[in-house]
Amino acid sequence: MILHVEAATGDYDGEIDLEALVNGDNVTNEASAHMALVIKVAQFALGAGVSFDDVEPKHIDDGSGEDLDVSGNDDWILEVAQLAYFLKVSIDRRDDEDKYYAYINGNGWKWTDFDALKGEVEDNFHQELENDDYEEFGKEYMSEYESESIPDHLEKYFDFEEYGRDEAGEYNSYEWNGKTFLFNN
């Protein structure tokens, strides 16, 4: 996970390896991750010949080709540190990490409450929509949530794909890394 930053003048770009930062010996909690990132940003500013406040975030590269926009927020250093530390200690698998990136990207960086991120995602996550297979989603949804089911001999006349699209439309749908994640409204 790489944070891309630039000097306010736009003449000087840099990268901060967030995984290496949070895996460092001095990072034992969110506060120490924040302090380590402040130091890295200060070093970047010094190298760019600008003041600390003139360093602006561009995006976070998640390592799979997707970029999370982190611009437009005054508390970006704290929130980037919170996200990096959170992903270090709270996520077991890459698939779970994608779910969090999708949620942040879908809601917008500056609207995300990073202190409550895990609870929000876990409380609101419905499911991953496998390969955008709305037909399978429609079948699963009907069998799980509908009290009436279609008799087997009539199933071939029912458009499960269209039904799946309609039902999926009732959720917030966020894309990340070629996957679709459905979250409750």
- Per residue, what are the HEC states of 77-92? HHHHHHHHHHHHHHCC
Q: What is the pTM of this model?
A: 0.78
Sheet holding 55-61, edge to edge: 13-17, 2-7, 55-61, 67-69
* CATH assignment of the domain containing 167: 1.10.10
Structural domain contains residue 143: yes
Decide if 47 contacts 55 (C-beta within 8 A). no
Q: Are residues 86 and 134 in the same domain?
A: no
Burial class (CB in 10 A: 0-12, 13-18, 19+), 46: exposed
Q: Are residues 81 and 17 in the same domain?
A: yes
Domain end point (choices 90, 119, 152):
90
Number of domains in the chain: 2
Task: pLDDT tens for the chain, 185 residues: list them.
Answer: 999 999 987 778 999 999 999 999 899 999 999 999 999 999 999 999 999 999 999 999 998 889 999 887 778 999 999 999 988 887 766 668 888 999 999 888 878 888 888 888 889 998 888 777 888 888 888 877 766 677 778 878 888 888 888 988 889 999 898 888 999 98
Residue 159's domain comprises 127-183
